[in-house]
Amino acid sequence: DEIDIRTLGSKGLFTFDPGFTSTASCESKITYIDGDEGILLHRGFPIDQLAKESNFLEVSYLLLYGEVPTQKQYDDFRKIVERHTMVHEQITRLFHGFRRDSHPMAVLCGVTGALAAFYHDSIDVENERHREIAAYRLLSKMPTVAAMCYKYSIGQPFVYPRNELSYAGNFLHMMFATPCEEYIVNPVLERAMDRILILHADHEQNASTSTVRTAGSSGANPFACIAAGIASLWGPAHGGANEAALKMLEEISSVEHIPGFIKRAKDKNDSFRLMGFGHRVYKNYDPRATVMRDTCHEVLKELDLKDNNLLEVAMELEHIALNDPYFIEKKLYPNVDFYSGIILKAMGIPSSMFTVIFAMARTVGWIAHWNEMHQDGIKIARPRQLYTGYDKRDFHSQLKK
């Protein structure tokens, strides 16, 4: 009776760090972030350079293998990614089990998890070559599955991949082509989509990546691990923020309404937050947001939407917030999600697909981390807890007479 039950079974000291604000869960060579300086490097290369001078497949190779590919390595990689773009025809039947009005993230999560059933026996996660093939399959099939989620939601037939197109171009084709009409990929929109994919490709130990690592640490099937990552990404505090940010900008609708929303964001009795603002790690401008803002201007110019009212609201909101003592003191800056919604909306993509596109882009980051974890030798993730429940008590004395 004298024993403090919280110490039972524990050996030595452990830290209590809810939300992992200051606890590293792993070592990694993939991505470096300096949140105070607003620096993001993939394998040592600055994100703005990669976004402007590379393409998504090249960045994917870099994340997976650690080096920029030679031309031959890139061509071989591209060919192998192209080879796996189709999904099993049975997958199309799986879609029909979902309600037509399901959220595309629910469908993406379910279908990606179901891929585990198609590649269950063929994957030995300890085998490097098997892990590599799983990575190719995921990278290749994600745009196909993502576009299928959209087509299913609007009641149109699925469009098969066209491998001669770029990764981003192929995705746009599968989204917008119909049996009645070919979709001619606009190079400015294709480039913008490619940049969105690069900017979302990896971001070290965010909630979804940590989830993938945690799930994978038990030796679980990679498709199932990625489905777990998709579930984690869906929340509005994480990947769901791009959908929420656009909704907020639409609600604000005009610059004269901004002060009212700023006031609400500062009010501690109001749960409202400026969506697309603030970050656990960045206490400076998110370097991805800068590229996203430039891309937003390029897309709106191309589509002749320069007077876009949402962009006007976003820029004014950013200006007011960055000069407000509350946001200055708390170091709250626009994050990657602040401008991405405007771009995607201008491209004709519905907001329910925004987080699906984020998941499609982040898949390569997830799988790179999953692979790195296996390379380094896995230790099952098993956080401790601080028990705050009852002390030991007698069940017998509680039995109903």
| Interacting residues with ligand ACO (CB under 6 A) | 237-239, 241, 265, 273-280, 330, 332, 335-337
Residue among 69 and 278 whose Cβ is closer to ligand ACO? 278
Closest to ligand ACO by CB, 151 or 279? 279
Nearest distance from residue 188's CB to ligand ACO, in Å?
24
HSE, side-chain direction, 13 A CA sphere, residue 257: 12
R_g of the chain, CA atoms, integer Å = 23
Residue with the shortest CB distance to ligand ACO: 278
Give the nearest distance from C-beta 239 to ligand ACO in angstroms. 6
In the bound complex, what is the minimum distance in angstroms from residue 293's beta carbon to ligand ACO? Answer: 15
Give least dist CB 399 to ligand ACO, A: 44
- Is-catalytic flag, 294? no
The nearest distance, CB 327 to ligand ACO, in angstroms, is 7
- Other CB atoms within 10 Å distance of the CB of residue 168: 24
Judged by beta carbon, residue 94 or residue 199, the one nearer ligand ACO is 199
- 376 classed as catalytic: no
Q: Which of 200, 202, 337, 374 is catalytic?
A: 337
Which of 238/297 has CB closer to ligand ACO?
238
> Which is catalytic among the residues 42, 173, 203, 279?
279
Q: Rank residues 330 and 384 by Cβ distance to ligand ACO and give the closer one.
A: 330
Q: Minimal distance in Å, beta carbon 135 to ligand ACO?
A: 22
Question: Measured from the CB atom, is 132 or 316 closer to ligand ACO?
Answer: 316
Catalytic residues: 279, 337
